[in-house]
Amino acid sequence: MKLNYKQTFLIGFGFFASSIAWSMYNVHVPTLLEKYLDSTFLIGIVMTIDNIFGVIFQPLFGALSDKTRTRFGRRMPYILFGLPICAVAFSLIPFTWSLATLMGVVIIFNFVMSTWRAPVVALMPDITPPPLRSKANGIINFMGGLGSLFSFAVGGILFKLGGVPLPFIASSVVMLLALLVLKLFVHEEKYKEEAGVEENAEIAQETIDDAEKSKKSVSLIFLLFAILFWFCGYNAVETFFSLYVINTLKDAAGNFLTEGDASFLLAFFSVTFLFFSIPAGFIGSKIGRKKTILMGLAGVAVLFIIMIFTGNIWVLRALLFLGGAFWACVNINSLPMVVELAQWKDIGKYTGYYYFFSFSAAIISPILFGWIRDLVKSYDVLFIYAPITFALAFISMLFVKHGEAKKTETAN
C-alpha cells in the first residue's frame, strides 16, 4: 500500500491553522499578561486556564465526533464550525484593554478551539492505514511546523513592524485561508472509502483476544504518562522561553533582547522540526516508533542541559536547531502509537486521551515551573526542569510494549 501524499498534505491545513494560533498565543500572551501581573506564578496560572478547556472538552468532542454522521463526514463539521470563530476571536486578543477583557476573549477562543482540535487530528488516522500513520503524521506535523514557522519568524518580523496587533491579525487571515482550502479540497467520506480503512480495521479487531487487550491497556497507560512528562518539559520551555530571553539574554551592546528576538530564536527550533518531521515519520516506520521516540527524548534532554551553561546567542541557535530534529522524533511518532491501540470506531476517543494528557501537562507545568522560578529567582532553572521531565518520559517509554505498526503489512 502507498500513502496518498496529496490527500495527507491537504488534511494538514487543519493542523497548520491550529499551529499558527497556538504558537503565536504562547509567545505573546505571557508578555500581554505581564502588563497586569507581576508574579510568574500568577502568569503560569492564567496560562493554564486555556488548557483546562483542552482537558475537559477535547476528549468530549473527540468521542462525540466518533458518533457523528453527516454528508461532510464525522470530523469536518467540527472544523468548519470552529475554525472561523477561532480566527475572529484570535484577532481580538491584542486589542483588549484589561485583564478581564483579555481573559474573556482567551476563554472564548480556547473553548471553540477545543471543539475542533481533536476532530482535526483524528481525521488523519481515520483515513490512513495503520502502517502508514507515522509517515502521514510526519506530513501533518510538517504542515503544523509551517504554521509555527510563520508565527515565530514572520510573526517576529511583523511584531517589529507593527507591534503586537499585526502578527495576530495576519495569523487570523492565514487561518481563514487554511479553512478555505479544507472546505474546497478535503472530502472526508470519499477519502475514507478510497483507503478502505474502516472495513480493514473491523476485520483486524476480530482477531484480538482479551489477554492481548489487557496488555495493550498497560502499554497505553505508560505511553500516556510518557506523553504527560515530555509535554511538561516542552510546555514549560514554550511558555516561558520568551520571558527567559527578555529577562536573561543580552545583545553585544549589553541590552536585553526583545519579544521579537525570542520569537526569532524559536524559529530555529521550528525550522528543523518542520524539515525533520517527514524524515522522523520514515525513521519511525523503519526502526520502530518506540526506538525513535527514545532517541528523540535523549537528544532533547542533552541539548537542554547544555543550554544551562551558555548565554551565547549563536550557540543557543545551534542547540535549538538540533533540538527541533530530536523533538520531531518524539512528537511525530507518539500519536500513531496511541491510535494504534484503538479500534477504528474509537479513534476520536483515543485522540482525546492523547490531548487529555498533553493538555494536563500544559496545566500542571506552567504553574509548577512558575512556582519553582519564583523560589530560585532565575529563569535559568528552565533548562534543569525540562531535562528532568524528559528523563521521566524516557523511563515511562521503556515499559511500552505495543503501538508499533503491524509488521505483516508492507507500506511504501
Which distant-in-sequence residues (6+ apart) come within 8 Å of 137 by Cβ? Answer: 124, 281, 332, 333, 335, 336
What is the three-class DSSP state of 256? strand
353/261 Cα distance (integer angstroms): 35
Domain that holds residue 327: 5-195+204-397
User: Domain for residue 408, yes or no?
Assistant: no
Residue 30 lies in a domain: yes
Q: pLDDT value at position 135? A: 87
Half-sphere exposure of 15 (CA within 13 A, CB side): 23
411 within domain boundaries: no
Task: Look at residue 299 and tell me if it is in a domain.
Answer: yes
**Rounded to an integer, what distance in angstroms lies between the CA atom of residue 295 and that of residue 314?**
25
Place of cell 515565530: 152
Domain count, the chain: 1
Q: Which residue intervals of 129-209 are DSSP H helices? A: 133-149, 155-162, 165-185, 188-195, 197-205
Residue 225 maps to a domain: yes
Rounded-to-integer distance, Cα 330 and Cα 358, Å:
13
Q: What is the predicted pLDDT for the residue at 1?
A: 66
Cα Rg of the chain (Å, integer): 20
- Give the Cα separation of 343 and 349 in Å (integer): 10
Cell output for 347: 479513534
Residue ranges of the alpha helices (H) in 249-312?
Answer: 259-287, 289-307
Amino acid sitting at position 368: L
Helix axes 313-340, 210-248, angle to 10 degrees: 160
Residue 250, φ and ψ in degrees, nearest 5 = -125, 155
Task: Give the pLDDT score at 155.
Answer: 77
Rounded to the nearest 5 percent, the helix, strand and coil shares of the chain are 85, 0, 15
Identify the three-state secondary structure at position 37. coil
Tell me, what DSSP letter sits at residue 406? P
As separate numbers, helices (DSSP H) first and strands (DSSP E) second, the chain gives 15, 0
Residue at grid coordinates 509551517:
146
Residue with cell 545583545: 251
Residue 203: the pLDDT is: 45
For the entire predicted model, the pTM comes to: 0.79
CATH of the domain at 20: 1.20.1250.20
Residue 270 lies in a domain: yes
CA-closest candidate to residue 239, choices 368, 146, 147, 333: 368
Residue 405 falls inside a structural domain: no
pLDDT one digit per residue (tens) for the chain, 412 residues = 677 788 888 888 888 888 888 888 877 888 888 888 777 777 777 777 777 888 888 888 888 888 888 877 788 888 888 899 999 999 999 888 888 888 889 889 989 988 888 888 888 888 788 788 888 888 988 888 788 777 777 877 888 787 778 888 888 898 899 889 888 887 766 655 655 555 454 444 544 555 566 778 888 999 999 999 999 999 899 888 888 888 888 777 777 778 778 878 888 887 888 889 999 999 998 999 999 999 999 999 999 999 888 878 889 999 999 999 999 999 999 999 998 888 777 888 888 899 899 989 988 898 899 899 999 988 889 999 999 999 999 999 999 988 787 654 444 5
In a domain, 182, yes or no: yes
Q: What is the pLDDT of residue 137?
A: 87
For residue 190, the model assigns a pLDDT of: 66
Cβ 257 vs Cβ 143: under 8 Å:
no
On whether the CB atoms of residues 60 and 352 are closer than 8 A, the answer is yes
In sequence order, what E strands does 2-154 have?
A: none
